[in-house]
């Protein structure tokens, strides 16, 4: 009996300039922070609808409802990790638990050591955006952001901040850590928005 020939797999559709590496490279600024669960908390502050700050302990945060999403991970240094299965608390769930003022347009995601990244509210609420605790069924490692990192899969991964500790609601955009240092304010990999000099009118708050 003859068997039909199998066609070769189609080349993977990657954003411009990206490649698939072996493994998952570790890139971050500064040392890996030590996780102390008794001292750890997650806060939402800034322009909240109530004017109050919201706070969760580690046990409280880890018990929040979860979502899962399969998505690629695009680093601005040009590697892409395909088909990661992320699990965590969605950005939209945080907004439901800690409602923002109606005129909030952006969030600033804050991490250990004062690291930050600004994200448009539309990106924060997008499908797949989450505060991830697991990747491919396992807790994310300390090098990759344990206990939580935000994952914004449709943007370059410097927006997917490791070691997150809070979210600030903003009524006016403000640049985060790498955005202040010359990286693009929006960071869409499909438009190859790597650097601030590529920004169009309306994409850039003051440097």
Q: DSSP code of 186?
A: S
Predicted pLDDT at 6? 37
Q: Which residues pair with 79 in a beta bridge?
A: 19
Helix, strand, coil tally for the chain in percent (to 5): 15, 30, 55
Distance in angstroms (rounded) separating the CA atoms of residues 27 and 23: 13
Q: How far apart are CA 98 and CA 92, in angstroms?
A: 10
The number of helices, as runs of H, and strands, as runs of E, in the chain is 3, 10
pLDDT of residue 207: 63
| CA max distance for the chain | 73
The answer to whether the CB of 105 falls within 8 A of the CB of 120 is yes
Length of the chain: 207
What pLDDT is stored for residue 64 in this prediction? Answer: 98
Give, rounded to a whole angstrom, the gap between the first and last alpha carbons of the chain: 69
Say what the pLDDT of residue 27 is. 65
**pTM attached to this predicted model:** 0.90
Task: Kindly indicate whether the domain formed by 39-198 is annotated with CATH number 1.10.10.10.
Answer: no
All structural domains of the chain with their residue ranges:
39-198
Q: Which stretches does DSSP call E strand in the chain?
A: 41-46, 54-57, 67-74, 80-90, 106-111, 116-120, 130-135, 138-139, 149-151, 164-170
Q: What is the mean pLDDT of each run of 10 residues along the chain (207 residues)?
A: 38 84 74 93 98 98 97 92 96 98 98 95 97 97 95 96 97 95 94 90 71
Q: What is the pLDDT of residue 26?
A: 74
Which neighbouring-strand residues pair with 151? 130
**pLDDT on residue 5:** 41
3-class state of residue 19 by DSSP: strand
Strand pairing category for 80-90 and 67-74:
antiparallel
Q: Residue 14: what pLDDT?
A: 92
Bridge partners of 178, per DSSP, are: none
Q: Output the six-digit token pair for 76.
A: 């601005």
Model pLDDT, residue 28: 67
Contact between residue 167 and residue 114 where contact means Cβ atoms under 8 Å apart: no
Distance CA 147, CA 151 (A): 13
């Amino acid at each position: 009996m003859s068997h039909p020939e199998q066609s070769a797999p189609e080349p993977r559709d990657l954003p411009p300039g990206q490649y698939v590496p072996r493994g998952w490279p570790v890139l971050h600024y500064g040392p890996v922070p030590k996780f102390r669960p008794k001292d750890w908390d997650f806060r939402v502050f800034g322009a909240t609808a109530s004017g109050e700050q919201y706070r969760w302990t580690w046990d409280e945060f880890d018990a929040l409802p979860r979502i899962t999403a399969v998505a690629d991970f695009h680093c601005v240094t040009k590697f892409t990790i395909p088909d990661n299965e992320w699990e965590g608390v969605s950005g939209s769930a945080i907004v439901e638990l800690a409602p923002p003022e109606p005129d909030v347009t952006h969030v600033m995601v804050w991490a250990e050591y004062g690291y930050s990244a600004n994200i448009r509210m539309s990106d924060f609420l997008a499908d797949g955006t989450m505060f991830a605790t697991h990747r491919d069924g396992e807790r994310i490692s300390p090098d990759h952001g344990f206990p939580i990192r935000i994952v914004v899969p449709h943007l370059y991964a410097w927006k997917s901040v490791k070691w997150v500790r809070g979210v600030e609601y903003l009524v006016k955009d403000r640049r985060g850590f790498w955005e202040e240092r010359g990286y693009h304010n929006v960071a869409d990999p499909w438009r190859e928005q790597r650097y601030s000099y590529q920004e169009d009118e309306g994409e850039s708050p003051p440097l």
